[in-house]
A and B are shown apart, each in its own frame.
Chain A
Amino acid sequence: MKAMRTLLGLAFLAAALPALAEGPAIGATAPVFALKTLDGKDFSLASAEKADKLVVLMFIATECPYSNAYNDRMRDMAAAYAGKGVQFVGINSNSTESVEDAVAHAKKHGHTFTIVKDPGNKVADLYDARRTPEVFVVDKDGKLVYHGRIDENYEDATKVTSPDLKNALDALLAGQPVAKAETKAFGCTIKRA
């Protein structure tokens, strides 16, 4: 399986993979990828899986009101779970938003978690990510264990009744199954190239 994932990653790096019609299902192997962070460093999902218990991939935007409504929640959750072995990674796949836009946005909102730019929205295609914000959680075995929203209330963080991402992370860290592993919410379409 590891060999297959490596091959998949290499194929992706060669930019030879066509867009997948559907993303990975819960329990399936999450496609590995490697991208540059906003400050020019290398980020590889395979390495992150080795280093951390869980990796939270968040497709985000600088201009989307729905994504922006979660700026503080993303920042706070990334900080709260950093010491628990959970790495948060923002992925900006919007062709309409530059690296400079993403850098300025991260600075403005205090996003110190890793953010990568996804040129040509190849990672968004690999995961069939459609909207911002949209979250995929990958475990240490490289399996997709949660996909969907951060919570159900984009309008008011103080009135959240279904903190789905938090519930999933807490369950996974406790070695429990995730009760709601697939969730949905409105969001902005990812602006593909």
Chain B
Amino acid sequence: MTRIRTTPPRAAAAALLLFTLAVSGRAADATLLKGELDGKELSAAIAKQKGHVVLVNFWATWCVPCREEFPDFVRLEKAYRDRGLRVIGVSTDLAKDLPKVEKFLAAAPPDFPNYRKKSGGDDQDFIESVDAKWGGELPFTVLYGKDGRKVRVLSGKQSYEDLEKVISPLLRSGP
């Protein structure tokens, strides 16, 4: 009697997923978010970029000016990456809105990492860990100099031109 070896369904599914990822070359796109961060983890992510000017933008899918402003950060990062700009996006959306976050990012995938603020805890703690004077309004953008120190906070939607004016001198400044 010939025994036919069948592939267990779970193994087959895993193989199919690996094949799909290999063919598409877009493993990271399974989720466009790089993960979740609390205040300490965000500080660590910023510190890792020491030597660069770091722009951190806090946004949410429910926030209209955030959505309007976001493409400017994508454009800005492309234009100034080689001059030392690093951009980090942080979505403050709730966990239940993850599909909306993924859909938003998938519409025009940015070349910079985006995280979601970790669920749980009091938002006030996160807000104050970013900046003591931040009231929680969105969008909100924080700039860090090459030495890793916070140099500017920008409340509300910014124009591309204003963002350029703020980052250009920082990029020209010393190491």
Specify whether A and B are partners. Answer: yes
By a beta-carbon cutoff of 8 Å, the part of chain A in contact with chain B is 63, 65-66, 130-131, 134, 149, 152, 155, 162, 183-192
Is B127's beta carbon under 8 Å from chain A? Answer: yes
12 CB-based A-B contacts, threshold 8 Å = A63-B64, A65-B62, A131-B137, A184-B136, A185-B127, A185-B136, A187-B136, A188-B63, A188-B138, A189-B63, A189-B137, A189-B155
Complex contacts, B65 vs chain A, CB 8 Å: 189, 191
Complex contacts, A192 vs chain B, CB 8 Å: 156
Are B139 and A189 interface neighbours, CB within 8 A?
A: yes
Complex contacts, B136 vs chain A, CB 8 Å: 130-131, 149, 184-187
- Determine the distance from Cα of A187 to Cα of B66 in the docked complex, in whole angstroms: 12
> B83-96 toward A: CB 8 Å interface, digit per residue (1/0)?
00000000010101
Q: How many A-B residue pairs have CB under 8 A?
A: 58
Could you list 15 further interchain pairs (A-B, Cβ under 8 angstroms) beyond the known A149-B124, A184-B134, A185-B124?
A63-B64, A66-B62, A130-B156, A131-B135, A155-B96, A184-B127, A184-B136, A186-B127, A186-B136, A186-B137, A186-B138, A187-B135, A187-B136, A189-B139, A189-B155
Are B94 and A187 interface neighbours, CB within 8 A?
A: no
Q: Which of B122, B124, B137, B157 contacts A187, CB < 8 Å?
A: B137
**Which residue of B is nearest A131, CB measured?**
B137
Is B128's beta carbon under 8 Å from chain A? Answer: yes
Q: How far is the CB of B103 from chain A (nearest CB, A)?
A: 17
